[in-house]
Structures are given as structure tokens and as C-alpha cells.
Structure 1
Amino acid sequence: MYLITDFGALADGRTVNTAAIQAAVDACTAAGGGTVMVPPGTFVTGTIWLRDHVELHLEKGAILLGSPNLDDYNADDAFVQNMRSEREQWNGAHLILAVEVTDVALTGSGCIDGNGPVFFETEAPPYPPRFGWSQGIRHARDKERLRPGQMLLFCECSDVRVSGLTLRNACCWTCLFYGCEDVVATGLRIDNPPDAANTDGIDIDCCRQVVVSDCLIRTGDDAITLRANPQRLKDKTRTCEDVAISNCVLDTSICAFRIGVGTGVIRHTAIANIVVRRASTAFLLQSAYLPPSTGVAISDLAISNIQLHSVAFPLKIVSGAPSATALIENIRVNGLYGSCYGNCEISGSALTRPRRINISSVDLTVGPCVLDPAPAAYPDTFLRVSHADAVTLDHVRIAWRDQHPAWRRSRAVEDATVVIADTCDLPEPT
């Protein structure tokens, strides 16, 4: 066991302890592995590189606080898989890094704080009324140097465990697993401001054999994402598969689940026992995000026992950008309950058509938007299906409550094969 204070770390909330903490990590791995302990107190730090067979453990009351100085973080070219986005105003700096290591863990009941308020605009600029980001959206304060990227990044690692921690004030995605295998993320509390751009909760990209459970996520962007974007990986054959996500409570300004982004494969995923407290979209399955991407092939997903509250769009299964050719197929949604104020959509295009989409045991009340300000426009149709094949609905029920006058009909089908069982109850708005 290696205590960071034995290597000179000071919990005064001012001293930058990067070198001391890194020395403890390096000594631990040099001795064959073990635990690096962070005791109670606030330890300011720049980038920490995790090594093989090291568990970084934060005791209760321990805080790792990101340095306010970008010079204390890794350079964009520190490893070949690194990424940045000028469009989204974040660079390639990270607070905790694990690159091509095995048997690595972040644990404890302490806190990792990205110090987001230092790097974000102090106020959100005016933003058009809409379902998402109802409180506006803040970007980087420094438009030239941008803000740090993913707070925790595990890249092409194996045997990864992140558990018990509070993760807050991230400057970008909070925790990214990129090209990893055998990952467990459990018991995490993620807390980011609702107007902070790109502050995803947990991002799973090209990973295999992943378990996410028992997490509380409140954030300004997508709560949990499944991605398939292998272009920057050394092993470009990696897919996103064999993922189990369960027993989480999500509160987000955009998507509770975003599934897509990239040009690879997402398959064999189970999502169950989820409460969505707030979201623009609960489930977005989108093959292509932006052109000219051909999109992600998404298949064999099972979604069950989902409770919705303060959600606009419960479910969207869409091809996305007009360049999409990848296929979405074999999607099962069984058990979707609660309230919403937007619609559901299943749509393809002339290039690709979602198919074999089974939706059952749905009971939703469609009511007015609870956000302030209200969105600029409501949809006019609750269920819209177009350019899709083998879509089935069974035991699907909606009820209308104080609906907006924009609503015109319960469903619309265009160039699609849809079977609606007699067990469904889809009354027209009144």
C-alpha cells in the first residue's frame, strides 16, 4: 500500500501534487502492483497516468481536484489514440489516464472533481427554446486553448474497475472507456451542471464485456453512451458488444442513452431497471451522427423495465444523417412506463431501413412540457414510423393529459410494415 502523502502530496487545496501522486503510482507498479491511497483532504493535481496492477483508492473525504492550469495536463500528442474537438471546444487533456494497461482500478468513497467552473463560461448565452438544454448551454471560457477533454480515460485497457466514487464538475465526458475489455463500473455518483456542454456521464466506445450498474448520473449532456468509433484505436477491429447496464437513475439535459456515433458495430447489449428522471430523449438509437459517416451497425439490443419522468422523447430509432447505410435491427423494448411530452419515432431512409423492432408493455401518459422555458414547438404525431420493416407493437398504451393543441394524431405510418396488436390502445388526441 502506497500513501500519496508519503511521496510529498499536500492536501492544502493549492499545491499541485501531480509529481507526488505519479511517484506513488509508479512505485506501486514497479513493486508488482498494489494500492495507492489518497487520504482525506483536497489534493490538486494535473494528469495522473495509471499503470498495470494499480488500484488508486480514494478514502472518504478525499478529493482529487483538477488543476486550473492547462499546462499541468498531458499534451494532445501524449498517445496516438488521443482526440480533441475544436468544434465542441475541448482539447486532449485528461485528469486520470490509463493507456494500454491491465488490471487497473479507481475505487473508494472519495471524489474526483474536474474543476469545471474554472474552464467553462460563467453564464450560458441565450439559447433558442427547445426540449434539450432548457437552461442554456455553456462552452469553453478560453476559446483558443479550449477546456480539458475526458476527465477519466481508459484506452485499450483490460480488466478495468471503477467503483464507489463521486465524479463531478467534469469539463467534458466524465468517464470514457475506449477500446477496452472486461470493464466494471459500479456504484458511481456523477454530478455535472445541467448546462455544461459535452459533459457525458459514462461513454463506452468499442468495448467488449462491460458491466455498468447502480449508478446515479446527473449531467448536462448524454448520461450513458454506446459508441463504435475505432478509427483512432491501434486495434481497429474492436466492436462494442456484450454490454450489460442496469439499476441506474439518470438525469440529463439531452439523452439518457445515446447509442450510435462512429462507423463500427454495436451489438449484444442489455439495458434494464432504469429510472430516467429528466431527459430530452430517453433512448436515441442513431446510426449516423453527422455526414459523411455511413453510420454504426446496431443490432441485438434488449431494453426492459424503464421508468420515465420529465422526458420529451421516449424512444427514437433512426438512421440519422442522410449518408447512413449501416443497419439497425433486432431491437426489443419491453417495459416502458411513465410520462412524456414528445413523441416516438422509428425511421430509415432510401439507403437503410431499421427492421425487426419489437415494442411491448408500454404505458405512457402524454402531457405538457414541464420545462421552463417551454419548447418552441411540439410534434403533431405521437408514433411516427417511416422507411422501416417488421415493426411490431404489443400491449402499447398511451393516455393524453392536458395535451398541447399541436397534437393531431396518435400514429402515422409511411412506407413501413407495422403490426399493431389488438392489445394496444392508441387513442387520438382530443
Structure 2
Amino acid sequence: MTILGETKMNLAKIKGPVVLAQTEKRGYRDPAAFYHEGTCYLYFTMVEQEGTEQYFTIGLSKSRDFIHWSEPVSLTERAKEKEYSSPGNLFAFQGKYYLCMQTYCRENGEVYGNEKSRIYTMETEDFEHFEEPVLLKVKGDNVREEDMGRMIDPCLLRDKDDPDKIWCFYKQNGVSYSWSYDMVHWTYAGRTDCGENVCALTIDDTYYLMHSPENGIGLLKSEDLRHFEEAGPVNFLSQSRWPWAKDRITAGFLLDMTKEAGAGFYMLFYHGDNERNGTFPFGASIGMAVTKDLKNYITFEPEEPTYPNLGNVYEGDYYRGIPREEYIDKSQVIPQASPERPVFDIRDFGAAAIPGRVNTAAFQAAADACEAAGGGVILVQDGSYVTGTFYLYDNTTLFVASNGEIEATRENGRIKTALLVAEGTENLVITGGGCICGNGEWYVYEPKLKPALLRDDRPHPPTHLAPRGTADRMLPETALRYNYRRRIRFSEDKYDENVGSTQRPEFMVYLKNCRNVRMENIVLKDAMAWTLNLFACEDVLVKDVVIDNNRHVANTDGIDITGSSRVEIDHCFISTADDGIVVKNPENTGTDMSEIHVHDCQVITVMNAFKIGTETRWNISDILVERCRFFMPDLFPGTTSGIAIESADGSHIQNVTVRDIEMKHVTCPIFICLNMRNRYGVPYSCDSSSPYWGGRIQNILLERIHAEDMEVPCILSGFQAAGKGGETVRKGIEDITIRGFRAVYLDNEEIVNVPEVIEEYLDGYPENNLFGDVDAYGIWVRHCDRLALEDVDIVPRSANTRERIKLYDVHKE
């Protein structure tokens, strides 16, 4: 609630950006506003169309809450030879008030004001009734009116250093400006390149000129009115989404509310053109926005979901049994502002917890203010706030209180790359006990099959791996891959239904090249793609984080550790559709990675619980995963893999320890695959150490792994291939130890078809259910140097017909 004078203005109650909407015969443009004792007086050009004739007058509408506006009235007479219009501002001088404006002379049927157009003022005592207009001879007493030249769009401003001196800015040869001490005698001072509809004001001893280029709202600044520079890029607000402003956004006017009690912002009025394909010249509507920094504008616009028929949630999409109270502290104390640590509440920047209200500008304005202060706290509390992409900077704590939520907009295009982005940021904290929500269901198409919940009163379906190479379209309905793929919601047109892609963002939270990051006591929910991507970061702690995703939204990895080093994942609960905790190192990181510690976590996923891969161009080393639980409590199929270690694109993966892991209903407990997919197109080389021939997997220790209800064998595989000259290239996995492995099969039926020859898995996507059946039920190994299997006990299903362990081209020492 913002208190303004004698009235209350609640920004949260403003339903949209339009203040005065264009009608069939009337348009509103060129706004100027004045605030006095709780009332906003909005002046503008009123465009009235009658048949083939069109008339301009100065109009007025009033409001005491910026929500309800009075019926517009004309303050000037219709007169084609004058056509008073384009009010600049209401200016106080020697106890009186003057409204400056233009004439837009069109007495000869012109479309635009002719060379007789000049600038005037009208005096008022009550802001509603005005004296006759008086010409401003801004070119000087010695210049005759007929020699002054065409001039329009005036604005008056007091000099920042000499309060008795008055400046008049007006459109002529760019923007020209003159000065006076009495509003009668003027001296021409100069000009600068600028658009039209100038609004001038001083902020912190600097002159700012808001102006209108061909389209959009521009901003210049100057210390001395001689040297001008751009104060920021041209702002188009959300024009691309507004049919009522499709032709142009222009004529920005800033109403300074910074000194009004409880306000502290600037109110922007502007107009949006819609000339209805030429049938209504000058047709326009007046809009309104709020800003604190002249850069980020709250436009009061509601989101318009791009796919309004999506967003459905079905039983089984979410796991309802997450013990949040074991991970999330709802009593975390909200930071209090101090000189050393200022707090920036997003509500102070115009954010409103209204369903569908887009608050991107408020989030960004708070983040920018935090950056300008050298750091501090961005506070989100008391409601759910919809936003598009916003960026965080150095020394920032994003505190989402337990009663607060950051919610991704459902409107395509408002999120670029990710909902929350930090790039090159140091000393970043995300915490508070609240929630960041991605609205993932709104960015993907409906599944072909609804979730399949396991029930005690019906038998578990048989386990069936389709033959290797079976295309997704040809999968039999009994295949595990068929059953989870048909339940996944994709953003792509996987079934050739001519619907195109939903073009969803790549990530929900994207931290790139960041240092010293702590994410703790926060819920990440309903991601639209990768949930948390730690890209080329260093010194990161992720602790007491709950990831609660729709378990059928494609590509919703839980935590992606992408080319990052010195990362600790501590005591997190992850429920998601894609890989739970992923270590990967694609080509664009450009660096090796090491020192990853994952411990005391629980992971539910239909894909891989812990995975290294598949994007593996640069080296990965020194990985420790311990004391974790990987399980699927309620869905069919179960988790695809518990532990997956995959080098497909040239990475050397070494020194990996995974220990003290409990698994339940994980289809394949262990999958290790080295192949030569070569995703990044490394050219052919005769040198077998080239990334063309894949990388290495070396020094892997898996110990004290307990798995219940496994369904397919563990696979450990290198490869052997032929070079262009017919030479054999063998790449074995190396120094693999499995110790203390206890596993019990789910005792259901199985459909097994082991091929006569199990082909090399050279360039396919490394995933166990794409590998096909093998001739062992427990552990199947091929191309391995120095394998140790110690204290291994695997109990098969009753229907089993295969051997426990099969080794091919394996050297134990």
C-alpha cells in the first residue's frame, strides 16, 4: 500500500497499462501529468474524428488513485487554424501555474501541423480552468512570430543551479532550448539531436531529456545542457504484445512522485499509436508505467499464457511425500536493513503478488539497486510474484521468505535462456525458505499416456528392453522405454503433429562463471527445463534444497554441475523427470572440472539418479558421491539408472568414488559406458588418443551399493572400433572396482531377447535401456582393464535364465 497525500494508491489494484483507451471516434495522445494534494491531473491531446474531419484539443482527466479516471473533457475550443495540443507540462512560476502546449495548425487540410505551429502557455489557478493562451517568443524579442519557424512539443524546466532561471525545450531542428527569468523575455541557447515530445527533468544534479525517436522512448542526459549523451537504450516497454500500440510507442512523460509520502517512484505516461491501418490518423491510447531508476518499468500488464490449454497436472506427476520439513527451515529470519547490508524489497519497486501480473521490471530494478549499493538483500515475501528473466549481481542475497514465491510467467518470450540468471557474479546467496517456481507444464505438450501409478492390488508389468536401434516410434508397448517416453511431456513436436516447438527456456536457474555461491534452504519447483545449471562456476554450496518438479516434463534435470569445480551438494531432496544430479562438461565450458562432493541426498527420477555425462568434451575428475538414496516410490517404469558414468565426446573421467548408496525400484543400478559419439565433431585422426576416438573412464570405485527391485543388469562397457585403414582401436574402461554390491531383482515377468552378437556401442546416446539385452542378469562387462568385483551378491528374479556375470575382453589385473 502506497500512501499519496490524502488518498491511497495501491499499485496492486491497477489492472493493466491503459489509462485512456482509444475508441471508434476518439484518440488520446501526448500525455502530461501534474500531481497536487492527492489528485493527478492528466492533460493530453484529444483527437476527435467526425467523418472525414479531425480535430485536436487539449483534454483533461483526473484521478485520485491512478485507477479510476474521470470522463475526459476538452479545455480548448476546436479551431483548425490553431488546434491547441501536445501539452508539455504544468509549471509553477511566481505563485501561478502555466500549462505549456503547441498549436498544430492545419487550416488548409494538412495532415501535420504547418509552419505556423508555435508554442504557448495557459495560466490556471485550479488546474481545470485556464486563461487564454499566450505565445512564448522563445527565439527572443527581436524575432518576429512569422520568423520563429515551426516549433512544437514544449516543456518547461527550472535550472538546476539557478532556481530563478527557466528553460523551455521544444522541437525544432532536433530539440532546441531557450531560457528566461520572467516567462516573457527569452534567449535562445542552443539545440541538440533528439526525438520529439521532450520531457525534461533534473535528477541528482543531472538534466534528463525523455524523448521520442521514430519508435520507442529514448533518454538523454547532460550536466550542462551543452554536452548530451544517451542515458540508456530506447525503451519499447511491451509494445510487441500490445495491439493498441502496434504502430508506435512514444511521447513519454515522467511524473516525479519521489517526494510524495510513501511513493518514491516516477510515473511514466505515454501513448501507443494504432492508426487502424490508416483509417484513424493519430489514433492512440494513453498508457502508464512506474519506475524507480528510469530503466526498469512496471507496466501493470497481465501475462497472456502462450498455450492456455496446457498446464494440466495429473495424479502421479508430483511426488506428494517429500518430507520438506526435514530440508526447509520455514523460520529463517528475514534480514533487516543496515548501512552495511541494505534490503531491497521488490514491493518497493512496484511488484505486486497478483495472479498473472508480470513483475519483471520490479525484480530487475531491485537487483540493479542492489548492485548500485555494492550489494545487499533482495527480499521476496508475502505472496507469489510472476516474472520473466531477471539478473543478479555481486554480493547479492536473494531472500525468498517462506511465505514468498518467484513464479515464472507462462507467456512465451518473456524468459530468455533462464528465469533467474547470474553471470560472472561473485558472493551470491539464494536462500530464505521460500520457492522458485518454473510453471513447467505450461511449456510442454500433453503426454500421450497419463502417469502409471504402482498399486499393490495389481501385478507389476513385465520388464522388457526393446532391441537396440528400435526407433521411438516403433517401440512395442511392453518396452520400458515406450512406457516412460509416452508419459513424458516434450516441448518439441515429437509425434509430427505440426504443432512446432514451444520454444521454452533452457534453464530455470542459470549461474554462469560465478564464484563463491551458496544456495541453501530454498524450494525449486516445477522447472520448465534444467532446474539449476551451475555452468563453469567455482566454490559452490547447494545445501538443504528441495527440487519438486513434475516428473513427466522433459529435460528437467535437477542439478547440473556443468564444467564447475569445488562444488558441494549437501542434504538435498530431488524429485524430477530427468537426471537428478548430473556432472557434465560440454565443449562450451572450455575447461576441465574437478572436486565435486555429493552427499546425504535423496533422488527420485524416471531417468538417472546420479550421472556423469552425456556432454563430455573436457576432463572430469575427483568426484565423491556418498550416503545417498535413489528411489522411485510410486511410478512405473522405475528410475532408469542409479549410477551412470558416461564419456561419449572425449572426456577423461577419473577418480570417481560412489559409496553407501541405497536404491529402491531403480531399473539398472550401475551403467558405465565409454563410446565415441563425438557430439562436437572432432575431425578424424589416426591418433587413438584424439577426442575423435572418445575419452577415458579410469579409476572408478563403487562400494557398499544396495539395490532393491532392480530390473535389468548392470552394464560396464568400453569399445573397439576400426580405423579408416582397417586398424583396430580399442578403448577399454580402466581400474574399475565394485565392492560390497548387494542387489535383489524385482520378481516380475521378463521379456528377454539376447541377440546372437551384441554389437559394439560406438556412437549412440549412452543409456542403459538403449543398449538392449545382454547375456547376464547381474553384471555384464566388455573391454575393461583391471576390473575388481568384490563381495558382490545379486539375487535374480524367479524367471531368470541368464548367468550372473559375463566378462568379455576383461583384464582383471
TM-score where L is the length of structure 2: 0.46
In 1: Cα distance, 2:773 partner to 2:487 partner: 19
**Compared CA separation, residues 63 and 221, structure 1 to 2 (3 A):** same
Of 585, 593, 599, 1:228 maps to 585
Cα shift readout 1:81-109 (whole Å, capped 9, x = no counterpart): xxxxxxxxxxxx21000011111121111
In 1: Cα distance, 2:811 partner to 2:446 partner: 50
Are 2:400 and 2:431, in contact at CA under 8 Å, matched by a contact in 1? yes
Secondary structure class of the residue paired with 2:528: coil
Mapping 1:255-294, distance limit 5 Å: 255-260=608-613, 261-278=615-632, 279-288=639-648, 293=649
2:129 corresponding residue in structure 1: none
In 2: Cα distance, 1:314 partner to 1:145 partner: 34
Secondary structure class of the residue paired with 2:413: helix
Secondary structure class of the residue paired with 1:27: helix
Secondary structure class of the residue paired with 1:165: strand
Secondary structure class of the residue paired with 2:355: strand
Are 1:152 and 1:174, in contact at CA under 8 Å, matched by a contact in 2? yes
2:593 corresponding residue in structure 1: 240
- Compute the displacement of 1:168 (Å): 1.2
Q: Which amino acid aligns with 1:389?
A: D
In 2: Cα distance, 1:322 partner to 1:107 partner: 39
Mapping 1:1-400, distance limit 5 Å: 1-74=343-416, 93-124=417-448, 128=475, 129-131=478-480, 134=484, 136-140=487-491, 143-229=500-586, 231-233=587-589, 236=590, 238-260=591-613, 261-278=615-632, 279-288=639-648, 293=649, 295-321=650-676, 324-339=693-708, 340-350=710-720, 351-368=730-747, 379-381=774-776, 382-400=778-796
In 2: Cα distance, 1:322 partner to 1:41 partner: 47
Moved more, 36-45 or 342-351: 342-351
Cα shift readout 1:293-312 (whole Å, capped 9, x = no counterpart): 3x321000111100010011
**Compared CA separation, residues 399 and 112, structure 1 to 2 (3 A):** same
**Compared CA separation, residues 370 and 17, structure 1 to 2 (3 A):** farther
How many percent identity over aligned positions?
28
In 2: Cα distance, 1:130 partner to 1:266 partner: 33
TM-score where L is the length of structure 1: 0.85
**Compared CA separation, residues 196 and 46, structure 1 to 2 (3 A):** same
Cα shift readout 1:46-79 (whole Å, capped 9, x = no counterpart): 00101111111100121111011122223xxxxx
Cα shift readout 1:369-411 (whole Å, capped 9, x = no counterpart): 699xxx99865412111111100011111123x4344x41101
In 1: Cα distance, 2:612 partner to 2:422 partner: 24
In 1: Cα distance, 2:525 partner to 2:400 partner: 14
- Compute the displacement of 1:262 (Å): 2.3
In 2: Cα distance, 1:144 partner to 1:68 partner: 15
In 1: Cα distance, 2:405 partner to 2:748 partner: 38
Secondary structure class of the residue paired with 2:369: helix
- Compute the displacement of 1:161 (Å): 1.2
Cα shift readout 1:129-162 (whole Å, capped 9, x = no counterpart): 4435636211117624521211000011111111
Q: Which amino acid aligns with 2:503?
A: L
The alignment of Structure 1 onto Structure 2 pairs a total of residues equal to 387
Q: Which amino acid aligns with 2:520?
A: S
Are 2:544 and 2:571, in contact at CA under 8 Å, matched by a contact in 1? yes
The yes-or-no answer on 1:403 pairing with 2:772 is no
Are 1:277 and 1:311, in contact at CA under 8 Å, matched by a contact in 2? yes
Secondary structure class of the residue paired with 2:527: coil
Are 1:173 and 1:198, in contact at CA under 8 Å, matched by a contact in 2? yes
**Compared CA separation, residues 411 and 201, structure 1 to 2 (3 A):** same
**Compared CA separation, residues 403 and 153, structure 1 to 2 (3 A):** farther
**What stretches of structure 1 of length at least 5 have no aligned partner?**
75-92, 420-430
Secondary structure class of the residue paired with 2:597: strand
Are 1:125 and 1:138, in contact at CA under 8 Å, matched by a contact in 2? no
Q: Which amino acid aligns with 2:805?
A: R
Secondary structure class of the residue paired with 1:221: coil
Are 2:507 and 2:531, in contact at CA under 8 Å, matched by a contact in 1? yes
In 1: Cα distance, 2:408 partner to 2:378 partner: 18
Secondary structure class of the residue paired with 1:187: strand
Secondary structure class of the residue paired with 2:480: coil
- Compute the displacement of 1:418 (Å): 3.0
Which of the pair has the greater relative contact order for Cα pairs under 8 Å at 6+ separation? 1
In 2: Cα distance, 1:183 partner to 1:404 partner: 47
Cα shift readout 1:276-306 (whole Å, capped 9, x = no counterpart): 1121101111110xxxx3x321000111100
